[in-house]
Amino acid sequence: MVFNFLKGQFIDVIEWTDDSRNTMVYRFERYGNSIMYGAKLTVREGQTAVFVHEGQLADVFEPGLYQLETNNMPLLTALQHWSHGFNSPFKSEIYFINTRRFPGLKWGTQNPIMLRDPEFGPLRLRAFGSYTVRVTDPSVFMREIVGTDGDFTQEKISGQIRNIVVQKVSRVLAGSGIPALDMAANTKDLSDVVGKAIEPTLSEYGLAMPELYIENISLPPEVEKVLDQRTSMGIVGDLGQYQQFSAAQALQKAAEGGGGGGDGSMGAGLGAGMGMGLGMAMAQNMGQAAGGGQAQQPPQAPGAAAPPPPPPPQQTVWHIAENGQTKGPFDPATLKQMAAQGSLTRETLVWSAGQEGWQKAGEVDALRPVFASTPPPPPPPAG
């Protein structure tokens, strides 16, 4: 019975299963019991086991099933002199290191990144994303980060890694030279550059970052507001046509709200019809003005304000080439006076917008009225 009691004080099965999904290091609890010589150690895939004896790291076991004997533990055997025919228990700390990937960790710039944008000049940007981390060197990770922490979770180091990521992201974005509006199309390349810049620092902790994602790069709200206004102006296009269209919509809404009849429904229907008529007429005027034609005025609806008259058509003007110099522009009335005075002849070279090259004034159809009252040159004298 004494032998059975002593045997019960020894641990003969060592293993760890993790269901927390965030534990990076777990210290196997002995609760004062000794590990039996010849005990079974199970290290599963995604784990390594580290033995620490008297404060020194003794052995690192990769995934597999081990029987703790001298031939499996050369370093520990050298540190702890086995006695009694290598059949005595021992007391060493056993740490299980989780070597799987820890995905979905978030990072973000707490303060904006200052950079010189090729298009907007000095600019402030913010960025955020996610990353994945894993332990690649258990010995270094235990020595540099964990120490004697028996329940080390990824939250305890995510803050430090986040600071490293933000620092590298800030440097890469500020020195990339990529315009802010084009960074969204280059997040993959920027992520790769940041990942390579972080690798040397993490290797000093026994860690690696298999994945790093820049999910968003945003401008300050005030800059986004101005950019939206600039985009809206590009969509509107011709401001004059947009104003006419807005006026047509305003008149239609005003007519829909009016009526004035005794029967409310009849007045509302009449107002809606008036509004639709006015809106269609204004839209037709706008389309005719855009096509170069003269808009026809619709009949004035009862109780509605008369639409503004269309702008007068622009008059064609002409330039004159004389003695190697260009004069003008001149309207047709001025050209007619010049023709009457003799300073403009049918041989004078003229040009107007839309005309291909200089032409003689007498060969331009639009200038025939100018020479209507001017006789042609006299015929040569008879021989």
pLDDT band at 83 (very low <50, low <70, confident <90, very high): very low
pLDDT tens for each residue of 136-152: 999 999 989 988 888 89
pLDDT at residue 244, rounded to an integer: 73
Q: Residue 24: is its pLDDT beyond 60?
A: yes
Strands across the sheet containing 34-43: 10-14, 34-43, 64-67
The mean per-residue pLDDT over the stretch 351-365 comes to 84
pTM: 0.54
Inter-residue contact 154 to 105 (CB < 8 Å): yes
Inter-residue contact 46 to 98 (CB < 8 Å): yes
* Location of structure tokens 């007429």: 281
Q: Residue 297: is its pLDDT beyond 60?
A: no
pLDDT band at 239 (very low <50, low <70, confident <90, very high): low
Q: Residue 278: is its pLDDT beyond 50?
A: no
pLDDT at residue 129, rounded to an integer: 94
pLDDT at residue 347, rounded to an integer: 87
pLDDT band at 185 (very low <50, low <70, confident <90, very high): confident
- Residues of the chain with pLDDT > 90: what percent? 23
Q: What is the mean pLDDT of the chain?
A: 76
Query: 3-state DSSP call for residue 54?
Result: coil
Beta strands in the chain (DSSP E): 10-14, 23-28, 34-43, 47-53, 56-61, 64-67, 93-98, 102-108, 113-117, 121-135, 151-153, 207-218, 318-322, 325-330, 349-351, 359-360
Enumerate residues 6+ apart whose C-beta is below 8 A from 198: 164, 165, 168, 209, 212
